[in-house]
Chain A
Amino acid sequence: MAKKNWSEIIRNNIVTIMFIVLCAVCMVFSGYTPAYVMYELFGRLSRNLFIVLALIIPIVAGMGINFAITIGAMAAQIACILVLEWGVQGFGGFALAAALTVPMAAVFGFGIGKILNMMKGQEMIGGMILGYFANGLYQLLCLFIFDNIIPINNPNLTIKGSSGIANTMDLVKGGIAGTLENLWKLSASQAALVFAAVIAVVLLLSHLRSHRKNNKALAVNLVALAAFAGVMQLPFMVELFSMVKIPMVTFGIVAVLCLFNVVLMRTRLGQQFRAVGQNRTVANAAGINVDKIRIIAITISTVLAGWGQLIFVQNMGAFQTYGAADQVGLYAGAAILVGGASVVRATNTQAIIGTILFHLMFILAPAAGKNLFGDAAIGEYFRVFMCYGVIALALVMHAWSSVAKKKAPKASDK
Chain B
Amino acid sequence: MAAEYILEMKNITKRYGENTVLSNVSLKVRPGEIHALLGENGAGKSTLMNVLFGMPVIHATGGFDGEVLIDGQSTHIASPHDAMLKGIGMVHQEFMLLPGFTITENIKLNREISKNNVVSRVLGENLETLDMKTMAGDARRALDSVGMSIDEYTKVNGLPVGYMQFVEIAREIDKTGVKLLVFDEPTAVLTESEAAQLLQVMKNIAATGIAIIFITHRLDEVVEAADGVTILRDGKFVCETRTADTDVTKLAGLMIGRAGETAFVTADPREFAADAPVALHVEHLAVDMPGEMVKDVSFDVHEGEIFGIGGLAGQGKVGIPNGIMGVYDAEGKVELFGQQVKLNDAHGALKSGMAMVSEDRRGVGLLLGESIEDNIVFNAMQVNGDFTKSFLGAKLKDSRAIREHADNMIKELDIRCFGAVQHTGTLSGGNQQKVCIARALTMNPKLIFVSEPTRGIDIGAKKLVLETLVKLNREKGMTVVMVSSELMELRSICDRIAIVAEGEVVEILPVNSSDADFGLAMSGIKPGTQNGKEA
Binding site for B on A (CB under 8 A): 211-212, 263-264, 266-269, 271-272, 274-275, 278-279, 281-283, 285-288, 410
Q: Find out whether the CB atom of B120 lies under 8 angstroms from the CB atom of A274.
A: no
CA distance A410 to B109 in the complex (A): 29
| Interface presence of B265 (CB below 8 A) | no
Mask, B89-108, CB within 8 Å of A = 1, is 00010001111110001000
| B99: A residues at CB distance < 8 A | 278-279
Q: Find out whether the CB atom of B128 lies under 8 angstroms from the CB atom of A275.
A: no
Within the complex, the shortest CB–CB distance from A310 to chain B, in Å, comes to 23
When A267-B120, A268-B112, A274-B101 are in contact, do A282 and B96 touch as well, CB less than 8 Å? yes
Which 7 pairs, one residue from A and one from B, show the smallest C-beta to C-beta distance? A286-B110, A211-B133, A278-B98, A286-B109, A269-B126, A282-B96, A211-B132
CA distance A266 to B112 in the complex (A): 11
Within the complex, the shortest CB–CB distance from A64 to chain B, in Å, comes to 16
Q: Find out whether the CB atom of B126 lies under 8 angstroms from the CB atom of A268.
A: yes
Q: Find out whether the CB atom of A267 lies under 8 angstroms from the CB atom of B129.
A: yes
| A286: B residues at CB distance < 8 A | 96, 109-111
Q: Find out whether the CB atom of A268 lies under 8 angstroms from the CB atom of B128.
A: yes
Interface residues of B in 43-96 (CB under 8 A from A): 80-81, 84, 92, 96
Q: Find out whether the CB atom of A279 lies under 8 angstroms from the CB atom of B98.
A: yes
When A268-B125, A268-B126, A286-B110 are in contact, do A274 and B132 touch as well, CB less than 8 Å? no
Number of interface residues of B (CB under 8 A): 28
When A267-B120, A268-B114, A285-B96 are in contact, do A278 and B129 touch as well, CB less than 8 Å? no
CA distance A110 to B310 in the complex (A): 51
CA distance A147 to B110 in the complex (A): 50
| B194: A residues at CB distance < 8 A | none
Q: Find out whether the CB atom of A272 lies under 8 angstroms from the CB atom of B110.
A: yes
Interface residues of B in 109-146 (CB under 8 A from A): 109-112, 114, 120, 125-130, 132-133, 136
| A283: B residues at CB distance < 8 A | 98, 109-110
With contacts A278-B98, A278-B100, A287-B81 known, what are 14 further pairs, Cβ within 8 A?
Answer: A268-B125, A268-B130, A269-B126, A271-B109, A272-B110, A272-B126, A274-B98, A275-B110, A282-B97, A282-B109, A286-B110, A287-B110, A288-B109, A288-B110
CA distance A272 to B101 in the complex (A): 11
Tell me how many residue pairs across A and B have CB atoms closer than 8 Å. Answer: 64
CA distance A212 to B120 in the complex (A): 23
Within the complex, the shortest CB–CB distance from A4 to chain B, in Å, comes to 13
| B120: A residues at CB distance < 8 A | 267
Within the complex, the shortest CB–CB distance from A170 to chain B, in Å, comes to 38
| B84: A residues at CB distance < 8 A | 287
| Interface presence of B221 (CB below 8 A) | no
Within the complex, the shortest CB–CB distance from A153 to chain B, in Å, comes to 38
CA distance A286 to B172 in the complex (A): 11
CA distance A84 to B288 in the complex (A): 63
Within the complex, the shortest CB–CB distance from A186 to chain B, in Å, comes to 29
Q: Find out whether the CB atom of B100 lies under 8 angstroms from the CB atom of A274.
A: yes
Closest residue of A by beta carbon distance from B108: A271
| A278: B residues at CB distance < 8 A | 98-101
Mask, B408-434, CB within 8 Å of A = 1, is 000000000000000000000000000
Q: A271 is contacted by which of B96, B130, B288 (Cβ under 8 Å)? A: B130
What are 11 pairs between A and B in contact, CB < 8 Å? A266-B129, A267-B127, A267-B130, A268-B125, A269-B126, A275-B110, A279-B98, A281-B96, A282-B96, A282-B98, A288-B109
| A279: B residues at CB distance < 8 A | 98-99
| B127: A residues at CB distance < 8 A | 264, 267-269
| B130: A residues at CB distance < 8 A | 266-268, 271
Within the complex, the shortest CB–CB distance from A167 to chain B, in Å, comes to 40
Closest residue of B by beta carbon distance from A271: B112
| B129: A residues at CB distance < 8 A | 263, 266-267
Within the complex, the shortest CB–CB distance from A267 to chain B, in Å, comes to 5
| B98: A residues at CB distance < 8 A | 274-275, 278-279, 282-283
CA distance A264 to B84 in the complex (A): 28
| A212: B residues at CB distance < 8 A | 153
| A272: B residues at CB distance < 8 A | 110, 126
Within the complex, the shortest CB–CB distance from B348 to chain A, in Å, comes to 22
| B109: A residues at CB distance < 8 A | 271, 275, 282-283, 286, 288
Indicate the member of B81, B109, B120, B125 with the most A CB atoms within 10 Å: B109
CA distance A269 to B109 in the complex (A): 12
CA distance A339 to B132 in the complex (A): 30
When A282-B96, A410-B288 are in contact, do A275 and B132 touch as well, CB less than 8 Å? no
Closest residue of B by beta carbon distance from A267: B127
| B97: A residues at CB distance < 8 A | 282
CA distance A287 to B110 in the complex (A): 7
| B101: A residues at CB distance < 8 A | 274-275, 278
CA distance A271 to B98 in the complex (A): 11
CA distance A212 to B153 in the complex (A): 10
Within the complex, the shortest CB–CB distance from B158 to chain A, in Å, comes to 9
| B132: A residues at CB distance < 8 A | 211
| B136: A residues at CB distance < 8 A | 211
Indicate the member of A269, A274, A282, A287 with the most B CB atoms within 10 Å: A282
| B126: A residues at CB distance < 8 A | 267-269, 272
| A263: B residues at CB distance < 8 A | 129
Within the complex, the shortest CB–CB distance from B212 to chain A, in Å, comes to 20
Within the complex, the shortest CB–CB distance from B286 to chain A, in Å, comes to 9
CA distance A212 to B132 in the complex (A): 10
Q: Find out whether the CB atom of B110 lies under 8 angstroms from the CB atom of A267.
A: no
| A269: B residues at CB distance < 8 A | 126-127
CA distance A272 to B99 in the complex (A): 14
